[in-house]
Amino acid sequence: INSMYNYKWIAGGLIFPVFGFLFFAVPTAYKLYKKEISTDYPTRDLAMIGFMDSTASIMAALTIPYISIMLNVVVSKLVLPITMVLSFSVLGTKYFWQHYAGGGMTIFGVLVAAVPKMVMSDENTDPLAMIIFIFSLVPSVASFIIKEMYLKKYPTADAFYMNTVISMWQVIIGLVTLPLAMLPLPGREVTPSHFGSYISNSLKCQLGGINSKEDDDCEYAFMYLMLFQIFGTIANILMFTIIREGSSVMFIMANTLKTPITALMGFFLIYYNYIKFTEGESFVLTWLDVVSLILVVIGSLIYASKPELTKDKQMATNLDKDGNEEKTYYLNPLLADGSDDSTEEKIANL
């Protein structure tokens, strides 16, 4: 999206969802033609997922110029404790001390980075933007929870078909909310009188690599879009697989491990000017950011040291109070195979 920094709203809210829809719709159409999948699944929940994802994206997009990249990366990890709360209350997931310790350290790591910047009025951090960004995590987490509920209820639902329907709703919501780009907010990209040229210029930039403004940087915009969609499609299919076989929290934990990689890649891309900033944006890496990042990663590893118990696992497994599988011990090892020996035979064996 950075190559579209003059057109962030339409890129994130409409252009990317349209191409995301095409990347999922083509394989879905092929599978339907080959009769490999079924569409006999309710779409209301999928529409809700699309709505939640779009809401989260729009709220987060509003904060882009007002939060440093490192702080954005760290604060986004609050998704872990928020998911734990919603998963416990909605799905009945059971947690153990490792999970509470990992979630607590994650929150502490976020506070280490966020509080000093807000208290000291860091010029790269707007407190209101920070609050909006944190609230944007709620619909994002709700989307994960609904995905888990759907995949547990319909385990045979095809991931490409699900993503096609979700992307379709994201496109619809993107179209409906596109006029919000004209709201008189700080850093808005377009005024009502230039809305038509804004759309035209954004398409020229994204699809044709044509600069319409002096500070446009559109030369590789289409290539970045294709790379994003390729990796995004793979990541989405893997996400659905992880949630189907495990849980939404398990996916978030796996996703958290990319944090140090993202931060380091972002740092080097900015250092070598591959990422360009608009006026008011900057990247400042402090020692508190580094400490915060380390705490978040350690918290994630502590959390991952023991699997949480989803409701279906609780019902299928006999567990003790610490979440370990209880074992039945027999005086006679011959009885451990679950044989149907009569009481008299068992007494005789003993």
Q: What is the pLDDT of residue 230?
A: 92
Higher pLDDT: 60 or 45? It is: 45
Amino acid sitting at position 61: A
Q: Determine the average pLDDT of the residues in 10-32.
A: 91
Of 12-21, 242-251, 292-301, 318-327, the poorest mean pLDDT is in 318-327
Please report how the helices 248-256 and 127-153 are oriented relative to each other, as an axis angle in degrees rounded to 10. 130
> For residue 291, what are the contacts with CB-CB under 8 A and spacing of at least 6?
109, 112, 113
Per-residue pLDDT tens digits for 184-207: 766 667 788 888 899 999 999 999
Cα separation, 287 vs 12, whole angstroms: 31
Of 127-141, 163-177, 278-292, 293-307, the poorest mean pLDDT is in 278-292
**pTM of model > 0.85:** no
Q: What is the pLDDT of residue 275?
A: 56
Higher pLDDT: 8 or 43? It is: 43
Cα separation, 49 vs 163, whole angstroms: 10
Contact predicate 74/113, CB 8 Å: yes
Q: What is the pLDDT of residue 346?
A: 46
Cα separation, 262 vs 194, whole angstroms: 35
Residue 327 has pLDDT above 60, yes or no: no
Higher pLDDT: 225 or 325? It is: 225
Maximum mean pLDDT: which of 110-119, 190-199, 301-310: 190-199
Q: What is the pLDDT of residue 21?
A: 94
Q: Determine the average pLDDT of the residues in 286-293.
A: 75
Higher pLDDT: 346 or 106? It is: 106
The percent of residues in the chain predicted with pLDDT above 70, rounded, is: 69
Please tell me what DSSP assigns to residue 41: S
Cα separation, 95 vs 83, whole angstroms: 12
Residue 323 has pLDDT above 60, yes or no: no
Mean pLDDT estimate for the chain: 76
Q: What is the pLDDT of residue 313?
A: 59
Maximum mean pLDDT: which of 190-204, 293-307, 320-334: 190-204
Please report how the helices 16-33 and 159-177 are oriented relative to each other, as an axis angle in degrees rounded to 10. 150
Residue 280 has pLDDT above 50, yes or no: no
Q: What is the pLDDT of residue 121?
A: 52
